[in-house]
Amino acid sequence: MRFSLYRYDPESSEAPHQQAYVLDDLSPDDMLLDALLRLREIDETLGFRRSCGEGVCGSDAMNINGRNGLACITRLGELTEPVVIRPLPGMPVIRDLVVDMGNFHHQYQRVEPWLQADAPPPDREQAQTPDERERLDGLTECILCGCCSAACPSYWWNPERFLGPAALLQAARFIEDSRDTATAARLEQLDDAYKLFRCHTIMNCSDVCPKGLNPTEAIGRIRRRMLGRHV
């Protein structure tokens, strides 16, 4: 199978380029991460991140044949050749497929992604009704892989001012949580021409999310909350 991988070494004078590789004895059921690990046996200078290998940690997000995804859950049989692998778009490249996610994590931090409640913590769990818990479905499963924000043109153009779909999905996760009492402050904090309203509903984010989440819909829920409509 033929591969074309983005290569960049900041310590080399060589310009960034695509490098061709060929691997034999692959099965269509092998994952792209399996192929990358084999390529690294051939070329130990190849840089990429990975950890769990099961679509849980989110660390091996990359651009695969023009679409952001996780190498560990992308079957080779689904890919056309040559398989063109590039780093996540819109994020500074540190080396090869490794990008600097500092701004992405900073935007995540800005939505204060932790439960804020006026009352002191209970001795045991803080109960929710099944309906209240259901409102968090589709929001708590995010693995912060960055595929969505790295597919969003608004985030590419304003990465410091627009929070991006991943951070906004997390904002929605706490706004929707019945146990969180900071809802009004959270909504006020997001009511800004850039932080939230740079989203133009292009939906690239929801198209690429490897967990099947829908950041566009989550952003819509925040907007409707701002308008005072409970959805």
By CB under 6 A, name the binding residues for ligand FES.
50-53, 55-60, 70, 72
Beta bridge partners of 68: 63
* Cβ nearer to ligand SF4, comparing 21 with 215: 215
Residue reference for tokens 């499963």: 141
The CB-of-10 to ligand FES minimum distance in angstroms stands at: 24
Q: Should residue 110 be labelled a site residue for ligand SF4 when binding is judged by CB under 6 A?
A: no
Q: Please answer whether residues 28 and 77 qualify as being in contact, where contact means their C-beta atoms are separated by less than 8 angstroms.
A: yes
Which of the stretches 6-14, 23-31, 109-117, 195-203 binds ligand SF4 when contact is defined by CB under 6 A?
A: 195-203
Residue 146 CB-half CA count within 13 A: 28
* Cβ nearer to ligand FES, comparing 145 with 167: 145
Separation of CA 7 from chain center: 22
Q: Should residue 215 be labelled a site residue for ligand SF4 when binding is judged by CB under 6 A?
A: yes
- Say how many Å lie between the first and final Cα of the chain, rounded: 48
The CB-of-105 to ligand FES minimum distance in angstroms stands at: 16
Question: How many angstroms separate the CA atoms of 116 and 205, rounded?
Answer: 27
Residues lying near ligand SF4 in the complex (CB under 6 A): 58, 142-148, 152, 154, 165-166, 169, 199-205, 209, 211, 213, 215-216, 219
